[in-house]
Amino acid sequence: MSQLGRIRRPADLRSLTTSELEVLAEEVRDYLVESVAKTGGHLGPNLGVVELTLAVHRVFTSPRDRIVFDTGHQAYVHKLLTGRQDFAELRKEGGISGYPSRSESEHDIVENSHASTALSWADGIARAHELTGQTDRHVVAVIGDGALTGGMAWEALNNIAEAQDRRLVIIVNDNGRSYAPTIGGLAHHLDALRTARGYEKVLGWGKRALQRSGPPGRVTYDALHGLKKGMKDVLAPQGLFEDLGIKYIGPVDGHDLPAMEFALRRAKAFGSPVIVHAITEKGRGYTPAMEDVADRFHAVGVIHPETGLPVTPSRFGWTSVFAEEIVEIARQRSDVVAVTAAMLAPVGLAPMAEEFPDRVIDVGIAEQHALTAAAGMAFAGLHPVVALYATFLNRAYDQLLMDVALHRAGVTIVLDRAGITGDDGASHNGMWDLALLRTVPRLRLAAPRDEATLRAELREAVEVDDAPTVVRYPKGSLPGPLPAIGREGSVDVLTRTAGDGGPRTLVVGVGAMAPTAVAVGQALEAQGIGSTVVDPRWVLPVSEDLLDLAAKHDLVVVIEDGLGTGGIGSAVRDALAEAGHAVPVQTHGLPHEFLEHASRASIVERYHLQAQDVARQAAGAVAALTAAHDVVEHEPRA
């Protein structure tokens, strides 16, 4: 049996020799490459934390000792060591999640895929342990150097520094990257520690001690004593961490298992908050990932494991269109700048950064700062374009509301992966934006349906200089062109059918759901029901043109990939009522709940957002309206 096959729980690690642990580490890496190549997932981050995770589980006793990962995409190794060794359906419906999940294991604490939160979780858990007298339990937080660029992490550190009696160990997994190289003053500080002479001494003493360690595969007292001697120069708090009042150990080679274990045992023995600074290499042990400067292996689709190349090359997608168009806009307008929160390539800003390096600002994992800084740039005469994944806008709602909108700042926000993203689960579905943004006064939101409308609406957005504008689009490849057959004011008309008379239906497709709306119109036509299918283009605020068009129909059907309650359908219903138009509105969107990981197609089917489902309900409403109309027509006159 392989070493990995023998591991069913973390306690099984403690009987292994050093040589057996080395074999296990290689088997874990081989398994990750082989399995993630078949399913897609976060590969690079997990290859980089193999020894670190082994050391954590050998030193601490999970689940009694609580282990919190920030972000959870580096928890695959943790899953393998806690009894979850079937990755065949990773991130697929019915399979294991790509993040920690309490429903999967008692060893998982936080479904933590929004960065910079682990230290607050750890502080809260440690406080509770202290207040309830559980002073023999430890809390371990594993946080990347990229996540330390987020303000929430420093709010937590400010509080942790006061907790001198709490058993809290913070492991800084320092690989110099998040999605891209970590930026800012913190990165420079960690880099200085990383290259300090003390670190070289640790490595030198450790290597020499291990050479004198006796029988191969055993870590002897001499080896540990040598490491201890080598670490004397770096056990004292350093720099920024000294100012916070938190003990500091490191830097430690995160791929040197004996060194990591030694550092963690020292940290565990302190009995108060300690930072262990571990240096790791993202993608460790997998040549394609280690040689890739663009960090394509942070998260991958299905790939050939030998080469790392995609099995099916990606089709031209929404992000690529934005990437092209923002460069064209930047060439024409010198006041346009772009802002990213540590995701330069994923949101499509790499081409602009290459051509205009001084006009693309990476603020780190700090969405709140991004929005308020953008308001400041707008005040000073620039037009910032802030590009984020839709799920991460949630973190900066207050700044959007109070700093951007209140101050009438001309800031454009581009939301990638809006709506249903699916595979990454509850925390990554960008399904909250429409309902959230509906509450922001003066905000204007566009939902393009295809390549042409994305390019046009982005250009319209950057022309607005007195209010926030938002352009949102989904994850993945582009649909085919969906041209309008006409326009009613600002509203694109996609199809019109006469039907057999009787109630007329207005079908409104929001953004990526426009093709579904067209298919609904076709299904209604097959049943003799007339319809007008439209794309409002700008869905917030609800336009007078859309209200006028709705007032000419007997039923309005709104299809969106955000929340069905509180989203665009609800906004249309409210606006019609306020305008005095008594037109019934059917809303079709996602339920007010967190969605488990599954494909977009599966989620669309599960929540009845397929064209046949929507058409069936619309036809039922039309039948009810027709029946009611017939009753009124045949009532005897008084």
pLDDT, tens digit, for every residue of 27-77?
999 999 988 888 888 888 889 999 999 999 999 999 999 999 987 788 899
- pLDDT beyond 50 at 199: no
**What are the binding residues for Mg(2+)?**
145, 175
Q: What confidence score (pLDDT) does residue 311 get?
A: 67
Q: What confidence score (pLDDT) does residue 424 get?
A: 76
- pLDDT beyond 70 at 473: yes
Q: What confidence score (pLDDT) does residue 218 get?
A: 43
| Catalytically annotated residue among 395, 472, 537, 573 | 395
148 — pLDDT class (breaks 50, 70, 90): confident
Q: Is 38 a catalytic residue?
A: no
Q: What confidence score (pLDDT) does residue 214 get?
A: 46
- pLDDT beyond 70 at 403: yes
pLDDT, tens digit, for every residue of 222-270?
444 444 444 444 444 355 566 677 889 988 999 999 999 999 999 999 8
Determine which helix (DSSP H) or strand (DSSP E) holds 600, and give its type and residue range. Answer: helix 600-606
Mean pLDDT, rounded, of the chain: 86
Q: What confidence score (pLDDT) does residue 229 get?
A: 42
SS (H, E, C) 239-305: HHHHHHCCEEEEEEECCCHHHHHHHHHHHHHHCCCEEEEEECCCCCCCHHHHCCCCCCCCCECCECC
| Catalytically annotated residue among 79, 282, 417, 504 | 282
- pLDDT beyond 70 at 416: yes
pLDDT, tens digit, for every residue of 154-169?
899 989 988 778 899 9
Span between the terminal Cα atoms of the chain, in Å: 90
Q: Is 247 a catalytic residue?
A: no
Percent share of the chain, pLDDT over 70: 84
pLDDT, greater one: 601 or 235: 601
Determine which helix (DSSP H) or strand (DSSP E) holds 362, and give its type and residue range. Answer: strand 360-362
For the segment 534-563, the average pLDDT, to the nearest whole number, is 96
Instruction: Indicate the residue type of 45.
Output: P
pLDDT, tens digit, for every residue of 77-116?
999 999 998 888 888 888 888 888 888 899 999 886 678 8
185 — pLDDT class (breaks 50, 70, 90): low
Non-local CB neighbours of 173 within 8 Å, separated by 6+ positions: 48, 49, 52, 74, 142, 143, 144, 145, 254, 278, 280
Peptide bond into 71 cis (omega under 30): yes
- pLDDT beyond 50 at 385: yes
Q: Is 367 a catalytic residue?
A: yes
Percent share of the chain, pLDDT over 90: 60
Q: What is the set of domains in the chain, with CATH numbers?
A: 3-290 (3.40.50.970), 318-472 (3.40.50.970), 486-633 (3.40.50.920)
List the single range of 6-20, 213-227, 292-306 with lowest mean pLDDT: 213-227
Q: Which of 479, 511, 524, 515 is nearest to 494 (CA)?
A: 515
For the segment 132-140, the average pLDDT, to the nearest whole number, is 94
Q: What confidence score (pLDDT) does residue 80 get?
A: 92
For the segment 522-535, the average pLDDT, to the nearest whole number, is 95
**What are the binding residues for thiamine diphosphate?**
73, 113-115, 146-147, 175, 286, 367
For the segment 18-27, the average pLDDT, to the nearest whole number, is 93
- pLDDT beyond 70 at 1: no
Beta bridge partners, 426, equal none
**What are the binding residues?**
73, 113-115, 145-147, 175, 286, 367
517 — pLDDT class (breaks 50, 70, 90): very high
Q: What confidence score (pLDDT) does residue 186 get?
A: 52
Q: What crossing angle do the helices spanning 221-235 and 257-270 adopt, rounded to 10°?
A: 60
- pLDDT beyond 80 at 629: no
Q: What confidence score (pLDDT) does residue 44 get?
A: 83
For the segment 192-208, the average pLDDT, to the nearest whole number, is 49
Q: What confidence score (pLDDT) does residue 234 get?
A: 42
| Catalytically annotated residue among 51, 261, 367, 525 | 367
List the single range of 222-231, 471-480, 571-580 with lowest mean pLDDT: 222-231
- pLDDT beyond 50 at 210: no
- pLDDT beyond 80 at 532: yes
List the single range of 291-295, 382-386, 617-621 with lowest mean pLDDT: 291-295
For the segment 324-332, the average pLDDT, to the nearest whole number, is 98
pLDDT, tens digit, for every residue of 336-369?
999 999 889 899 999 999 999 999 999 988 999 9
* Cα(557)–Cα(78) distance, integer angstroms: 46
Q: What confidence score (pLDDT) does residue 175 get?
A: 83
Q: What confidence score (pLDDT) does residue 570 get?
A: 96
Phi then psi for 362, rounded to 5 degrees?
A: -100, 115
193 — pLDDT class (breaks 50, 70, 90): low
- pLDDT beyond 60 at 634: no
Q: What crossing angle do the helices spanning 18-39 and 50-59 adopt, rounded to 10°?
A: 130
SS (H, E, C) 185-248: HHHHHHHHHHCCHHHHHHHHHHHHHHHCCCCCCCCCHHHHHHHHHHHHHHHCCCHHHHHHCCEE
pLDDT, greater one: 285 or 292: 285
For the segment 581-596, the average pLDDT, to the nearest whole number, is 92
pLDDT, greater one: 482 or 251: 482
Of 89-103, 188-202, 534-548, which one has max mean pLDDT? 534-548
For the segment 468-482, the average pLDDT, to the nearest whole number, is 94
Beta bridge partners, 509, equal 559
